[in-house]
Amino acid sequence: MKYKTLHCARYFFTILGYLFFLNLILSCESDLDPITLTEAELHVSVSGTLSGNPRSSISVAIYHTKNDAIEEINTIKSAHTDDDGIAIFDHLEIGKRYWIRIDSILLKNIKLSEELNAGFNEFIIRIL
């Protein structure tokens, strides 16, 4: 009988311990604030007009105004496309539009981006 009482007491305290631990976990409040994105990232994807294949090593630059893009002055950022035909520009302002200049061997393309959202944005252009 003594063994049965000890076994029941041990079982009781085990369950009580689990309940205490569960209560401790459920009563915790998170000190973490939700992540708020404060910048935009623009991925410019360049591919061939006829083939649709990605174009690597293409010069891409972004500007605030169309005139700056035409004159190639006051460049905000510039990059070359990678093997997947993508040039990445980060730390850009949310809600802004940028003039994108793509220089290929045959042509200079200047296009206006959409207004950038927080986080990832994509701009696709096909060139010769």
CA dihedral 98, 73, 91, 113 (to 10 degrees): 10
Q: Which residues contact 54 (CB under 8 A, 6 or more apart)?
A: 45, 46, 47, 81, 83, 84, 85, 86
Give the mean pLDDT of 89-117.
91
pTM of the model: 0.69
- Give the mean pLDDT of the chain: 83
Sorted by where each begins, the domain ranges of the chain are 1-31, 40-127
pLDDT of residue 114: 94
Average pLDDT on 41-68 reads: 93
CATH fold group of domain 40-127: Immunoglobulin-like (2.60.40)
Per-residue pLDDT reduced to its tens digit, 101-111: 999 877 788 99
